[in-house]
Structure formats: C-alpha cells, structure tokens
Amino acid sequence: MSNEVLNYDKVAEASLVKAQRDGAETMWDRRAAQKTQCGFGEAGVCCRICAMGPCRVSPVPGKGAERGICGANADTIVARNFARMVAAGTSAHSDHARDIVHALHHSKAEGPFKVRDEAKLRRIAAEWEIADADTKETYALAHELALMALEEFGKPFGTQRFLKRAPQARQDIWAREDIAPRAIDQEVTTLMHSTHMGCAADYESLFRRGMRTGMSDGWGGSMIGTEFSDILYGTPTARASSSNLGVIDAEMVNILIHGHDPNLAEMVILAAQSPEMVEMAKAKGAKGINIVGMCCTGNEMTMRHGIKIAGNFYQQEMCIITGAIEAVVVDVQCIFPALPELAKTYHTRFISTSQKAKIAGDMYIEFSEATGLDNAAEIVKLAVENFPNRDAAKVEIPDIKQDTMVGYSVETIIQHLDAVVNSQLEDGLGTVKPLTDVIYAGVIRGAAGVVGCNNPKQQHDYAHITVMEELIKRDVICVVTGCAAQAAAKAGLLTLEAKEKCGRGLFEVCERVNIPPVLHMGSCVDISRILHLVNLCADLKEIDPALLPVVGIAPEWMSEKAVAIANYVVGSGINTYLGVIPQVLGSPNFTKLMTEDVQEFIGAHFVFEKDPIVMVDKIMEDLEAKRVALGI
Ligand code: CUV
Ligand code: SF4
C-alpha cells in the first residue's frame, strides 16, 4: 500500500491498514497499478471520436504529430473532449432532476410521494406564472407544475424559466453572447452532435456551446432538482448531525446509502422507520436500524433529517472495510464499480437500484416511483436479515466522529439573517440585505462557494480544508456543498465553535447571526442554491453578479458533473478556481480562452491552481479587486 500521506483525514490510515489485513483491494492499490497516467489523456489531446482513430496529437505544441487523421488539431480535440464532459455532467444532474419531477407528478396526498413544502410549490408555480397558483388544489397544482418542469427538458422553443432569477444585466449578457440555455435535452443533444466527427472544429465555438449546455444544468436541471426536491421532501432547515466513519454503529443494522437522488433515500428512511422493521432488527439482535449517508445522497438526507454522514467520496470503500455495514444501497453517480467485489470480502450486501446505474456483482432491486416504498422495504428487510451474518472478528469502526450543523438552504439563511434585522436595517426583513450589508461594509470581505469531489491528485480533503480555513481566517464566508461540505463537516468547520478560526469580522457575523462560518448548503445539484443566493444579492444591489466579491472553488473535483458546474458558474459571472487542472493544457489556445479571454465576453474566467495556499492568495486578490471596482 502506498500513499498513506495522501490522506489528510486521520481515519484513512487505520482503514487502509485494515484493508490490507483483510485482503481487500482499494482505490490506492488500483491507483498504484495505473503507474504513470497517460500524458496524452492528461493534456486532452487523445481523440477516439471516430474509428479512423484513436489519434493523438502532441501534448507539447511543435513536437510530433499536430493533427489527427481527419485533420483535427489540438485545439479542436481538446475543445471537443471538454465539451463532451460538460454534456455528460449536465445530463447526469438533469436526469436526476427529471426523476424528482416524475416523483412529483406521481405525488398524492396519501403519499409516500407527497407535497411536503406547499408554500414552495405555490411560490414556484407563481414564479412560473401558473394562474391561481395560490388557490388551486394542491395536487392539481403539483401535477401541473411537474408537467411544466418536464417540458423544460424538451420544449421546442424558448429558454430556461429560472433564468429570470438573475438580474437583468446578467440576462442581457446571456442574450448577447447566445448562452441562454434552451431545453436541457436539446443542449446536451446538440452538443453531442457538434462534437461528432467532422462537425464543429472551431474551439471557441465549441467552448461557447459547452458553456450554454452547462448553463442548462445550473439554471435548468440542477435548479429544478433542488427546488422540486424541496417541494417533495421539505426545504432544509438548520439542524445538527454527525460525520465520519465513527457514525457507523457496531450494535445496529447499518445501511449505507450512497449516490444522489433523494427519492430512493427518502423511501428507505420511511421504510426503516416502520415499527415492524425496527422490531425485526431487534429480533435479530441489533439495537435498531442506523442509516448513514455518503456523497450527495448523504447530503440530501442529512439536510432534511439529520441523517449521519459516514463520509465523502473517498470513503466509500472505507465504509465497507469497517465490516459493519449490512447493506450498501446505491442509485446513481459516483459509485465505484469496485464496491460489489469489495463487499464480498465482508458480509455486506451491495444493492444497486437504478436502471441507469446497474452495477453487476451482487444484487439489483429496481426502484421506481410507482413502487418506491415497497422497493425500499425489501431493501431494508434484506439488510436486517443480513445482520446475523456479520463477522465480529472483521468489525473495526474507527472511533472518529465530529458533530456538525447542516441544512442551510437559502430560505434558512434568510431566516437567520432576519433575526438580526433591527431598526437600523428596517427594510431588510425576509431578504439577503443583512448579508450584502456586511459584505459592502467590509466586515466580511466576500463569499466563496467551495464545492466538489475528492481526487487522488490532491491529498484527501487537505485542499478543501486548507482553502476553507484560510478563507475564513481572512473574513471570507464559505458556503459548501457536495463532498467539500462533508470534508468541512469532518474537520469541524460546520460548527458554531468554528468561529474561533475566523478573522474578527466574520467572527462577529457568526456570533450575531448564530451560524457557522462555513455553511452546508447541500448536494451538488444544490449549487443552484448558491447561485440563487448570489443572484438575490446582486438583484438587491441591481448589479451584475460578476461585480460582487464572490468566487466558486472546486479544490479536489473529479467528475464530469463538476465540469458542467464550473461552466455554469463562470457563465453566471463568477470566477471559478479549480484545484485539479482539467485535461485541456494540450491546447494553449483553449487554455487561454478559459483562463483569460472568456472574461471579455462573460465577465468571469477559470483559474487553475493546484496549491491551495497559493489559490487562496489569488482569491483574496480577486475579491479585493472586486471591492475596489465597486468602490466598497
Ligand atoms: Ni454530487 S460529484 S464525488 S457526490 S461532490 Fe462528491 Fe457530490 Fe463529486 Fe460525486
Ligand atoms: Fe482521429 Fe479525427 Fe477520428 Fe478524432 S475524429 S479519431 S482526430 S480521425
């Protein structure tokens, strides 16, 4: 085993030693087996889009082949590969959203899929200009709204409805630059078409089309995913939870839910709460049923129910290695295909549930909106029945867990801000005004959205935590989602006590508003919450969000979804810092377009910086320059 030092989180070391003892293979072994990664792929200059190829052009301009057989050069190949990542990422978030909307379309008062946030249902119905949004019968309205949302995926004309949430100045830029996204499926399809052999070759055009597709994720799929999940399962409110492998309980039936979509997770939670299931667990010798979460579905569950977070992306294998998980239940995205094999080393059952992500190796129980609760009950029963098969000799749960606060939706943040609205801020009630006030006053210097995955190209969680700690020290408030949020949870940054790590200004804000300096805003699709928050601030000031001292950061990203996200964040006027360099350096032209030229037409750009400390220095310069430009 190698790379112990690559793990910032102390829990990892013990886990990996145990894995070796148990004869379990982990990502570290497979990473070592990969040896040096391919330099062509790394630079983005390998093309296998057609069967004349694969072609690879020189990753270093001026050396070796400059064109593929069809004549595509590095610029074209890099741009096409990058665009395809955006298309894949957009499709993932958006297809997740579609399932949520389908569930709303299936909803009825008797449940289990039902409207749990009626106010939000009516608010969005009004926003989308449904007549009688405040008086229509709940389920008639829910079904009508769901149908409208489904049309956002395939409507033949027009752009995404949620774009109107942005200030006019930003909407004008989108119109001028032709990046206002149309139907989501159309954007993904047309980008796949553009990147087909012998289609688009102009790298700038490919980049722009990619950005528009990414925009259909952020302002389309992801935003629909977030808002409709809230309607169905409730808008998150601040609550306590706990994080890291220590939340796995040796005396309980442990069910790990991993993936993304709250539909499955919500039904499993419901099923596990039934008294018969709990009785059954007790009859098998367990104290009860302990559901723990991982990755984004973990974020969804913790925000709405306080379900404990077992860990982030990197820890999916470590969870199983504890030997105390009765069932790993997955839906879609970010699930290692290695898991079923690893589960066999222990008594753990691995259950995949989605046609879109069938993972062979153990068990498949298809989950559908029509039979969701029954499917979930079957899964829970299987886990409970598996409890007696646990091998006590193989159980070793690291005794590390950390209390955490989660659930800061935009609505919850505004509620907290309301608590400090007083006579001096008479007109700020129910708005983000107190937040913009402290930013404009310089009490806090700006805000950062820190998001994204883990990637062995960065020390596990180290980049996340370093960036966040350094920023709060410099009075920059952080909002976090995804695996970055879980890194923050494990490091204790999502606590009220974390204010001790802040600069004076942010310390005072945390104390007065009674919030942690790093706010858990949810899963990856919930980056749309961050987008909404920033746009509310910009709208209040009647300016383009590009002028605000805010940045987006993905210190350890790895997925295509992250590429889609980065595109819509930049497209929304927010500079985006990437701690892992995307596979584009083989085209200096494309790299320059991303990191410089795009600024001229969109008002924001990408920054690549592997060193988190250097990154924070660059971010501070960026934020301070924005402040100067605003005259604040
Ligand atoms: Ni959707 S995309 S590893 S779970 S944040 Fe976590 Fe978040 Fe990346 Fe996946
Ligand atoms: Fe080679 Fe062109 Fe085919 Fe790509 S599209 S594999 S560069 S011939």
Model confidence over 133-192: pLDDT tens digits? 999 999 999 999 999 999 999 999 999 999 999 999 999 999 999 999 999 999 999 999
Nearest atom in ligand 1 to the alpha carbon of residue 452 is 5
CA distances 102 to 95, 122, 365, Å, are 11, 18, 19
Q: Is the CB of 452 under 6 A from ligand 1?
A: yes
Residue 1 pLDDT level (bands cut at 50, 70, 90)? very low
Q: Is 163 helix (H, G, I), strand (E, B) or coil?
A: helix
From 24, 37, 26, select the one nearest 3 (Cα to Cα).
26
212 CA distance to ligand 2 centroid (A)? 25
pLDDT at 532 over 80: yes
Pocket lining: 482 vs ligand 1, CB cutoff 6 Å = yes
For residue 54, whether the previous peptide bond is cis, meaning omega lies within 30 degrees of 0, is: yes
Any ligand 2 atom below 6 A from CB of 49: yes
Decide if pLDDT at 193 tops 60. Answer: yes
Tokens of 532: 């909404």
Q: What is the ipTM of this complex?
A: 0.94
* Alpha carbons within 13 A on the beta-carbon side of 293: 33
CA-wise closest residue to 115 among 93, 147, 137, 148: 137
C-alpha 451 to ligand 1 mean position (Å): 9
To test the ligand 2 pocket, which listed residue (40, 46, 47, 57) has its Cβ within 8 A of the most ligand atoms? 47
Ligand nearest to the CA of 299: 1
Nearest residue by C-alpha to atom 3 in ligand 2: 50
Mean pLDDT confidence for 415-440? 84
CA 275 to chain centre: 33
Cα–Cα distance, 367 to 331 (Å, whole number): 9
- Pairing mode, if any, of strands 550-554 and 518-522? unpaired
Instruction: Extract the tokens encoding 114.
Output: 């039902």
Q: Is the CB of 53 under 6 A from ligand 2?
A: yes
Closest by Cα among 481, 553, 556 to 314: 556
Q: For the chain, what is the mean pLDDT?
A: 96
Whose tokens are 């605003």? That residue is 630
Q: Return the ligand number nearest the Cα of 55.
A: 2
Q: Is the CB of 313 under 6 A from ligand 1?
A: yes
**Ligand 2 centre distance from Cα of residue 198 (Å):** 8
pLDDT of 6 higher than 50: no
Atom of ligand 1 nearest to the CA of 558: 8
Whole-angstrom Cα distance, residue 493 to residue 519?
Answer: 9
CB of 332 closer than 6 A to ligand 1?
no
**Residue 295 to residue 578: CA distance in whole angstroms:** 20
What's the pLDDT at 446? 98
What is the enclosing helix (H) or strand (E) of 300?
helix 295-305
Q: What mean pLDDT is predicted for residues 466-473?
A: 98
Q: Which residues contact 545 (CB under 8 A, 6 or more apart)?
A: 166, 167, 170, 534, 535, 537, 538, 572, 573, 574
Taking a C-beta distance cutoff of 8 angstroms, is the pair 259, 330 a contact?
yes
Task: Please write the tens of the pLDDT for every residue from 51-109.
Answer: 999 999 998 877 889 999 999 999 999 999 999 999 999 999 999 999 999 999 999 99
Distance (angstroms) between ligand 2 centre and the Cα of 45 equals 11
Give the pLDDT confidence score for residue 61 in this predicted structure: 74
Residue 355 CB-density burial (10 A; 0-12 exposed, 13-18 middle, 19+ buried): exposed
Q: Which of 197, 206, 587 to mutate to test the pocket of ligand 2 (most atoms within 8 A of CB)?
A: 197
Ligand positioned closest to the Cα atom of 580:
1
Predicted local distance difference test score (pLDDT) of residue 29 = 93
Residue type, 444: I
Centre of ligand 2 to C-alpha 23, Å, is 42
Angle at 480 between CA 478 and CA 486, to 5 degrees: 125
pLDDT in tens, 243-292: 999 999 999 999 999 999 999 999 999 999 999 999 999 999 999 999 99
Q: How far is the CA of 198 from the centre of ligand 1 (A)?
A: 33
Q: What percent of the chain has pLDDT over 90?
A: 93
CA distance 550 to 80: 30
Query: What SS3 state is found at 158?
Result: coil
Residue ranges of domains in the chain, CATH in brackets = 4-56 (no CATH), 74-233 (1.20.1270.30), 245-394 (3.40.50.2030), 405-630 (3.40.50.2030)
The closest residue, in CA terms, to atom 6 on ligand 2 is 53
Residues in the chain: 632
User: Hey, how many other C-beta atoms are within 10 angstroms of the C-beta on 232?
Assistant: 26
Mean pLDDT of the 578-597 span:
98
Give yes or no for residue 55 CB within 6 A of ligand 2. yes
In angstroms, the CA 389 to CA 254 distance is 13
Identify whether the C-beta of residue 156 lies closer than 8 Å to the C-beta of residue 148: no
Ligand 1 centre to CA of 334 (Å) is: 6
Residue nearest atom 7 in ligand 2 by C-alpha distance: 68
Decide whether any atom of ligand 2 lies within 6 Å of the 47 Cβ.
Answer: yes
User: What is the reported pLDDT for 504?
Assistant: 97
pLDDT band at 7 (very low <50, low <70, confident <90, very high): low
Burial per residue of 420-442, b for 16 or more beta-carbon CB atoms within 10 angstroms, e otherwise = bbeeeeeebeebbbbbbbbbbee
65 lines ligand 2 (CB under 6 A): no
CA of 315, nearest ligand number: 1
| Residue 198 CA, closest ligand 2 atom number | 5
Distances, alpha carbon 44 to alpha carbons 36, 80, 605, in Å: 16, 9, 20
| pLDDT tens profile 593-614 | 999 999 999 999 999 999 999 9
The bound ligand whose nearest atom lies closest to the alpha carbon of 73 is: 2
pLDDT at 360: 85
Residue 190 tokens, joined: 């047309």
**What's residue 425's pLDDT?**
53
Confidence of residue 3 (pLDDT cuts 50, 70, 90): very low
Helices (H) and strands (E) in the chain, counts: 26, 16
Ligand 1, atom nearest to 524 Cα: 1
314 lines ligand 1 (CB under 6 A): no
Atom of ligand 2 nearest to the CA of 48: 6
Nearest atom of ligand 2 to the alpha carbon of 47: 4
pLDDT band for position 428 (50/70/90)? confident
User: From the alpha carbon of 67, which atom of ligand 2 is closest?
Assistant: 7
Alpha-carbon Rg for the chain in angstroms: 24
From ligand 1's centre to the CA of 295, what distance in Å? 6
Q: Is the CB of 197 under 6 A from ligand 2?
A: yes
Does the C-beta of 70 come closer than 6 Å to ligand 2? Answer: yes
Tell me how far the alpha carbon of residue 214 lies from the centroid of ligand 2, in angstroms. Answer: 25
Beta carbon of 453 within 6 Å of any ligand 1 atom: yes
Phi and psi at residue 34, in whole multiples of 5°? -70, -15
